[in-house]
Amino acid sequence: MPAAPVLIAPLPQHRLDEPRLFAWLAEHLPGFEGPAELRQFQGGQSNPTYLITTPERRYVLRKKPPGKLLPSAHQVEREYRVLRALDGTAVPVPPARVLCEDEGVIGTAFYVMDFVDGRVLTDTTLAALPKDERRPIYDAMAQTLAALHRVDYRAAGLGDFGKPENFVGRQINLWTKQYLAAKTEELPAMDALMRWLPENAPATEEVTVVHGDFRLGNLLYAHDGPQVLAVLDWELATLGHPLSDLAYVALPYHLPPGGPLPGLRELDVAAWGLPSEAEFLQAYARAVGRADIPDWPFFLALSLFRLAGITQGVYARALQGNAADGGAMAMAAVARSAAEIGWEIASGARKVA
């Protein structure tokens, strides 16, 4: 759950051949006319992201980072495909305009979409907003996630966007391998989850488009209301179980306040004008048209297991790079806490909605 990109650098950190880029866009992007200015968004993006401003319009460019990459990582081509597929559905996405797979233009593949002018809200307490505006923000988030999960992925041309079979089992295997590869200390809670999750996986499968990183900070809200204008950062999108998305966006209800990933646990959410976890789940269920949320403890435990695997990996990479600063140490603490909370939920020691 990295921080959302909110600052724009005057000069890009990852410099591009701007004349070549703008010449390519003038040829391939209808309506593009210079002069153009390029600035880079800072923070929270594994794919470098830029703002392009022309006299008439603003665009956003997403590219792969430089250097050697894993085959399954930073696939901006997949981001472009899902954005194009969802355009025109009830899911608000920025219109994706053009994809360039010719690495000779700026060094990597990239795509360009329209700039959407909205608010990025990263604080799950929404403390900066008036109390009466907070619940509608959460309601809109639940309704937007439901809209995504209602999409007929086959009709949208996404029938081959992922492997629909055994999504949960593959997630357990993936994060088990990732965690063991990055392991730096004994975490008994992770060992317990690695045993418990395969034995308690749901017997039935559900398949929808899943975002993979659906959370408050990846939504753009209208400046004057709770409407979600765009869902951002589709790098992890695939076909999978919809409750994996729901569990991920509900994680703040189980994370403690403070620290690098502050949550809502132990907060009097009603006093703050926020929905409870049960109310949030009910809003989603009503919007998506389902009677209940089965296997909820399992999906929360799986999501916390995944979070522990991700943050443990961040910490291990920092150690390998001799960069074990305070931020890296914080990730180690998050991994430990996520694993322990996940096992409390799995074992029944912590009650959930």
- Please tell me whether residues 42 and 140 are part of one structural domain: no
What would the two tokens of residue 124 be? 């799950």
Angle at 181 between CA 260 and CA 344, to 5 degrees: 55
Are residues 272 and 126 both part of a single domain? yes
β-strand partners of 111: 62, 99
C-alpha separations of 28 from 60, 99, 195 in Å: 15, 9, 52
- Is 265 a member of any domain? yes
Other beta carbons less than 10 A from residue 206's beta carbon: 16
Domain end (from 115, 150, 183)? 115
Domain termination site, one of 74, 93, 115: 115
Please give the model's pTM, rounded to 2 decimal places.
Answer: 0.92
**pLDDT score for 327:** 66
pLDDT of residue 285: 98
Residue 181 lies in a domain: yes
**CATH number assigned to the domain comprising residue 68:** 3.30.200.20
Question: Is 2 part of a structural domain of the chain?
Answer: no
Residue 178: in which H helix or E strand, if any? helix 167-182
From residue 309, alpha-carbon distances to 35, 99, 173 in Å are: 45, 32, 11
Nearest to 73 by CA among 47, 107, 54, 35: 47
Q: Which residues pair with 228 in a beta bridge?
A: 221
Count of domains forming the chain: 2
Strand partners, 98: 112
DSSP string, 220-233: EE-TTSS-EEEE--
Domain holding 206: CATH number? 3.90.1200.10
User: How confident is the model at residue 261, as a pLDDT?
Assistant: 81
Are 88 and 205 in a shared domain? no
Say if residue 232 is in the same domain as residue 248. Answer: yes
3-class DSSP state of 343: helix
Give the full edge-to-edge strand order of the sheet including 110-114.
7-9, 37-42, 49-53, 58-63, 110-114, 96-100
User: How high is the mean pLDDT in each 10-residue block of the chain (353 residues)?
Assistant: 51 78 96 93 75 96 70 76 97 97 93 96 96 98 98 97 93 95 94 98 95 96 97 95 98 88 92 98 98 97 96 83 59 92 96 86
Same domain, residue pair 235 and 86: no
Across-strand partners of 37?
53
Place of tokens 């949208």: 156
Cα 78 to Cα 66, 75, 141, 207, 238: the distances in Å are: 18, 5, 23, 18, 9
In a domain, 160, yes or no: yes
Residues 174 and 86 in one domain: no
| Owning domain of residue 95 | 7-115
Same-domain check for residues 144 and 20: no
| Range 176-180, long-range pairs (CB < 8 A, 24+ positions) | 176/309, 178/309, 178/310, 178/312, 178/313, 179/308, 179/309, 179/312, 179/313
Whether residue 155 sits in one domain with residue 103: no
CA distance 53 to 36: 5
Residues 159 and 270 in one domain: yes
The predicted structure's pLDDT at residue 1: 38
Chosen domain end from 100, 115, 130: 115
Strands (E), 175-237: 208-210, 219-221, 228-231
